Amino acid sequence: MATETLTLGKALNTGLRRALENDPKVVIMGEDVGKLGGVFRITDGLQKDFGDQRVIDTPLAESGIIGTAVGLAVRGYRPVCEIQFDGFVYPAYDQIVSQVAKMHYRSRGKLNIPMVIRIPFGGGIGAVEHHSESPEAYFAHTAGLKVVSCANPQDAYVMIQQAIASDDPIVFLEPKRRYWEKGPVDLDAPLAEAYPLHSARVARAGTHATLLAYGPMVRTCLDAATAAAEDGRELEVVDLRTLSPLDLTAAYESVRRTGRAV
């Protein structure tokens, strides 16, 4: 198997590349995603290799990006929209909750909206207003949307491909403070055999207490568990991975073992 050490950002880039290779209906859209390769370079090199009809530099208009993507999705494409920063998503909020989340139900199941909305989220990069926000609660409480967040390079590589392959609209939250952290990635792992997209997972086993986390806080909890182990306390870390639908089975099982949850 081809296992490489990649940053989380490079793992996302590689996953997006695989999705573009595997399905000609996949298109990437967003501000500066093409020639620049994105502010965080997550789409670096993709327009060069796949052309500007599939990796599209859009105007600075989030509502327009999402609205256009809805039209593409209805016509059978699989658009992947990048919201450049978490705090820029609000101009697109009406489109997301009024169109993206409701079209399948409004059409009584006749229409699918297979689109992914990528949002770098959270703090930790020293940026001020609109660049370090956590808007996930808005979307996790919106019926018709699925919301996921990767926490390590392997999950980033697999989950972005799973999200693009899904027939449901998915808000894909990327922990921007973790973009440069490295980890092993199995590039040959068959997508059909990968860990389910909407399932939580125990990231570290323990017995004294359970730490429940997602996205950027998973690494924080793993570091805390490592420090606690030096004092003889074994903390279990559960990576939720998905916020909607929220998979509580792994959380319940963990808390039943440890008796405490944080």
- Return the active site residues: 131
Could you tell me how far CA 175 lies from the centroid of its own chain?
8
Helix, strand and coil content of the chain, in percent to the nearest 5, comes to 40, 20, 40
Give dist(CA 226, CA 220) in Å, integer. 10
Q: For residue 177, what is the DSSP state?
A: G
Q: What does the chain come to in residues?
A: 262
Give dist(CA 109, CA 150) in Å, integer. 29
Give dist(CA 172, CA 49) in Å, integer. 24
Residue 96 in tokens: 């997301």
Give dist(CA 54, CA 47) in Å, integer. 7
